[in-house]
């Protein structure tokens, strides 16, 4: 079986969609499409047939292209979380996924991971064979999504008990190009961490060249992402300064770091 082909497609200001192509069967799906023309151009260049839309969550900048794509082909399968399907939040959704459920694009199988926090209906798609996870707005390069609907407890579980336990060489394909700004915050709360300093310098140079900083790897996130280092002294001290008394409560520490990030500029 051939490798899963992954094509990153810039969308809007700083979003990424991903075209996933099974060369063996000539079929493709797209993760988080908001601007169809760019995605369709990629699929045409690949000589593939678009058969499915995979949504990580319901925010418009991730599913805004669904209606246009469905108008062109009403037979497209539309996957997303079971929560979003129950609440009718993803246009055209045909299948609601629960944690651990398998989905396929051609001969390639992904496992749905339930990672609510940014929103209550949020899934990630993990391809063990391709060593890749598509995590939307739960995990970013050196950061995590804002808690629009979920809680620090949910985010801690998603980052540190679900995503963070994937193999270190798993490639992390997130929904936005936020890495540089996230690393500026990481320097603020974890600036003595040499891995953060090194990554920031590398990312700043890449962005100056107009290059994407996505994907990263899970190992790199565990080394440099403040929200995945909440047991480390610098992050605990930052949480203490923000009023957290029980530093053994991982969710409280994460919540304090998230609140600091929300106010950081």
Instruction: Give the integer Cα–Cα distance in Å for 195 and 180.
Output: 14
Q: Which CATH superfamily is domain 4-262 in?
A: Ribonuclease Z/Hydroxyacylglutathione hydrolase-like (3.60.15.10)
Q: Is 108 annotated in the active site?
A: no
In angstroms, the first-to-last Cα distance of the chain is 47
pLDDT at 2: 85
pLDDT band at 74, cuts 50/70/90? very high
Q: Is 137 annotated in the active site?
A: yes
Please tell me which residue in 62, 66, 108, 156 is annotated as part of the active site.
Answer: 62
Q: Is 61 annotated in the active site?
A: yes
pLDDT at 56: 99
Residue of 264, 15, 262 lying closest to 152 (CA atoms): 262
Query: Residues 136-148: pLDDT tens digits?
Result: 999 999 999 999 9
Prediction pTM value:
0.97
- In terms of DSSP H, where are the helices of the chain? 36-46, 60-63, 66-72, 82-86, 152-156, 179-190, 194-208, 218-224, 233-241, 250-262
pLDDT band at 175, cuts 50/70/90? very high
Please tell me which residue in 21, 58, 59, 66 is annotated as part of the active site.
Answer: 59
pLDDT at 207: 98
What percentage of the chain carries pLDDT values higher than 70?
100
Query: Residues 103-137: pLDDT tens digits?
Result: 999 999 999 999 999 999 999 999 999 999 999 99
pLDDT at 45: 98
Please tell me which residue in 108, 118, 122, 156 is annotated as part of the active site.
Answer: 118
Please give the average per-residue pLDDT across 226-254, as a whole number: 94
Residue 210 has pLDDT above 80, yes or no: yes
Please tell me which residue in 84, 108, 176, 190 is annotated as part of the active site.
Answer: 176
pLDDT band at 252, cuts 50/70/90? very high
Please tell me which residue in 84, 137, 156, 190 is annotated as part of the active site.
Answer: 137
Domain assignments of the chain as residue spans, ordered by start? 4-262
Instruction: Give the integer Cα–Cα distance in Å for 191 and 121.
Output: 34
Token digits for 61? 């900048």
Q: Is 242 annotated in the active site?
A: no
Please tell me which residue in 57, 66, 108, 122 is annotated as part of the active site.
Answer: 57
3-class secondary structure, 167: coil
Q: Is 122 annotated in the active site?
A: no
Query: Residues 8-55: pLDDT tens digits?
Result: 999 999 999 999 999 999 999 999 999 999 999 999 999 999 999 999
pLDDT at 265: 76
Residue 187 has pLDDT above 90, yes or no: yes
Please tell me which residue in 61, 188, 242, 249 is annotated as part of the active site.
Answer: 61
Residue 1 has pLDDT above 80, yes or no: no
């Amino acid at each position: 079986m051939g490798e899963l082909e992954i094509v990153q497609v810039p969308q809007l200001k700083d979003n990424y969609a991903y075209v996933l192509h099974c060369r063996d069967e000539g079929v493709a799906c797209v993760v988080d499409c908001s601007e169809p023309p760019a995605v369709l151009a990629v699929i045409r260049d690949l000589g593939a047939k678009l058969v499915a839309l995979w949504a990580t969550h319901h925010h418009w900048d991730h599913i805004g292209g669904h209606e246009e794509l469905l108008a062109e082909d009403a037979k497209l399968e539309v996957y997303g979380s079971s929560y979003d399907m129950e609440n009718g939040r993803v246009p055209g959704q045909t299948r609601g996924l629960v944690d651990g459920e398998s989905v396929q694009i051609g001969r390639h199988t992904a496992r749905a991971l339930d990672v609510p926090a940014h929103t209550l209906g949020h899934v990630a798609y993990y391809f063990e064979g391709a060593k890749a996870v598509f995590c939307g707005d739960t995990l970013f390069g050196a950061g995590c999504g804002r808690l629009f609907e979920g809680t620090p407890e949910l985010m801690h579980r998603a980052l540190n008990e679900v995503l963070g336990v994937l193999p270190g060489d798993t490639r992390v394909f997130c929904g936005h190009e936020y890495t540089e700004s996230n690393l500026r915050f990481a320097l603020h709360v974890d600036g003595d961490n040499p891995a953060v300093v090194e990554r920031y310098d590398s990312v700043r140079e890449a962005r100056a060249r107009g290059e994407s900083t996505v994907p990263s790897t899970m190992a790199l996130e565990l080394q440099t992402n403040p929200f995945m280092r909440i047991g480390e002294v610098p992050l605990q001290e930052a949480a203490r300064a923000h009023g957290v008394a029980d530093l053994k409560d991982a969710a409280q520490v994460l919540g304090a770091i998230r609140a600091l990030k929300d106010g950081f500029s």
